Amino acid sequence: MIELEGLSKRWPGADRAAVEGLSLSVPEGTSCALIGPSGSGKSTTLRMVNRLIEPSGGRLRIAGKDALAGDPVTLRRGIGYVIQEVGLFPHRSVAENVATVPRLLGWPEARIRARVEEVLALTGLDPARFAARRPHQLSGGERQRVGVARALAGDPPVLLMDEPFGAVDPVVRARLQEEVLRLLKQLRKTVLLVTHDLEEAVRLGDAVAVLRDGRLVQHGPAEALLARPADDFVAEFLGSDRALKRLALLPARAARQEAAATGTPLPPEATLRDALSAMLARGAQAVPLAEGGSVALEDVLSASRPDAAGTPGQR
């Protein structure tokens, strides 16, 4: 659990605080994505959590302990940190880079070797192929994987990620996001993430927190924000297509049993947005589902109403 309580940062000479009275909790084993315009205080907030930036005021607790009380270097060893430029040591091998924290923690050599192999494999890098390479001998996506492997090496309960996939192309990016998401869930890490990319926030964040001028304006599951933005600023930030974005988060469940719809059934993982796309592509008012039954246009419309209660698409 990461708990920020009234956390603030005021830079010397600045006319307003970069972060002002920010209170936010990330429950254990969940992830929260910080989003907001450039300069809204996302990176400052993240870096206050591992004290690369010392807060000017407020409280910070990690796993119930006062994280502002002890030594920041010790704190950082217990927190994985992934940044866009990865920040690998260029003259060290992948294995040596990944071993950084376990070595600082004083693990025995055999344990370090085993752990390096384990986290490389977890992040989709075959140790036999990659362990001895230098960072410049890797693709951007592979470097990013090494960055994640390095952050996981010491098995920290908390992970901070600042634009973790910003430097890789969109195709690699989507695959990495899926894989890392699966991995972090499997390992039950508590994750605070900064991103410019709303889709990434929605995909990776159990909750999304919107910042504006250093203040928290809305916090909750992406689906709730897309359905009910707190104000015009959040609505505009989420985009005029926010209703479509929300449909992409809602599973297409059979809303009616009659097999009126024709055409190829949608697979079980299909969302209401997929159902709508299929209707538009087929010029049909309804589409069948592989699991049986069908979804009709009116079901999509009723689910897209922000006040739609219960499980959307279900009657």
Ligand X SMILES: Nc1ncnc2c1ncn2[C@@H]1O[C@H](COP(=O)(O)OP(=O)(O)OP(=O)(O)O)[C@@H](O)[C@H]1O
Contact with ligand X (CB under 6 A) among 40, 97, 100, 195: 40
Instruction: Decide whether 168 or 194 has the Cβ nearer to ligand X.
Output: 194
Instruction: Decide whether 18 or 149 has the Cβ nearer to ligand X.
Output: 18
Provide the minimum distance between the beta carbon of 294 and ligand X in the complex, in angstroms, as a whole number.
Answer: 43
Other CB atoms closer than 10 Å to residue 214's CB: what's the count? 22
Q: Restricting to residues 189-208, which ones interact with ligand X according to CB under 6 A? A: 196
Provide the minimum distance between the beta carbon of 170 and ligand X in the complex, in angstroms, as a whole number.
Answer: 19
Whole-angstrom distance, CA of residue 12 vs CA of residue 19? 13
Whole-angstrom distance, CA of residue 12 vs CA of residue 17? 9
Helices (H) and strands (E) in the chain, counts: 14, 12
Contact with ligand X (CB under 6 A) among 41, 127, 135, 312: 41
Other CB atoms closer than 10 Å to residue 264's CB: what's the count? 10
Binding mask 108-127 for ligand X (x = CB under 6 A): --------------------
Whole-angstrom distance, CA of residue 136 vs CA of residue 139? 8
Instruction: Mark the segment that binds ligand X (CB under 6 A) among 34-42, 147-155, 185-193, 296-304.
Output: 34-42
Q: Residue 301 is which amino acid?
A: L
Provide the minimum distance between the beta carbon of 273 and ligand X in the complex, in angstroms, as a whole number.
Answer: 27
| Tokens 């000479």, residue located | 13
Q: Does 18 bind ligand X (CB under 6 A)?
A: yes
Task: Give the tokens for residue 176.
Answer: 């990495």
Instruction: Mark the segment that binds ligand X (CB under 6 A) among 39-47, 126-134, 293-301, 303-311.
Output: 39-47
What is the phi-psi region of residue 225: left when phi exceeds 0, alpha when psi lies from -120 to 50, beta otherwise?
alpha
Provide the minimum distance between the beta carbon of 36 and ligand X in the complex, in angstroms, as a whole number.
Answer: 6
Q: Does 43 bind ligand X (CB under 6 A)?
A: yes
Whole-angstrom distance, CA of residue 49 vs CA of residue 47? 5
Whole-angstrom distance, CA of residue 266 vs CA of residue 253? 10
Provide the minimum distance between the beta carbon of 148 and ligand X in the complex, in angstroms, as a whole number.
Answer: 20
The angle at the Cα of 220, spanning 214 to 225, to the nearest 5 degrees, equals: 90
Number of residues that bind ligand X (CB under 6 A): 12
Instruction: Mark the segment that binds ligand X (CB under 6 A) among 38-46, 88-96, 257-265, 289-297.
Output: 38-46
Provide the minimum distance between the beta carbon of 14 and ligand X in the complex, in angstroms, as a whole number.
Answer: 6
Q: Does 164 bind ligand X (CB under 6 A)?
A: no
What is the phi-psi region of residue 33: left when phi exceeds 0, alpha when psi lies from -120 to 50, beta otherwise?
beta
Contact with ligand X (CB under 6 A) among 5, 11, 178, 306: 11
Other CB atoms closer than 10 Å to residue 38's CB: what's the count? 6
Buried (b) or exposed (e) across 147-164, using 16+ Cβ within 10 A?
Answer: bbbbbbbbebbbbbbbbb
Q: Restricting to residues 44-73, which ones interact with ligand X according to CB under 6 A? A: 44
Task: Give the tokens for residue 189.
Answer: 């890490």
Task: Give the tokens for residue 268.
Answer: 């079980």
Instruction: Mark the segment that binds ligand X (CB under 6 A) among 37-45, 148-156, 178-186, 299-307.
Output: 37-45
Instruction: Decide whether 97 or 195 has the Cβ nearer to ligand X.
Output: 195
Contact with ligand X (CB under 6 A) among 6, 23, 27, 39: 39
Interface ranges with ligand X (CB under 6 A):
11, 14, 18, 36, 38-44, 196
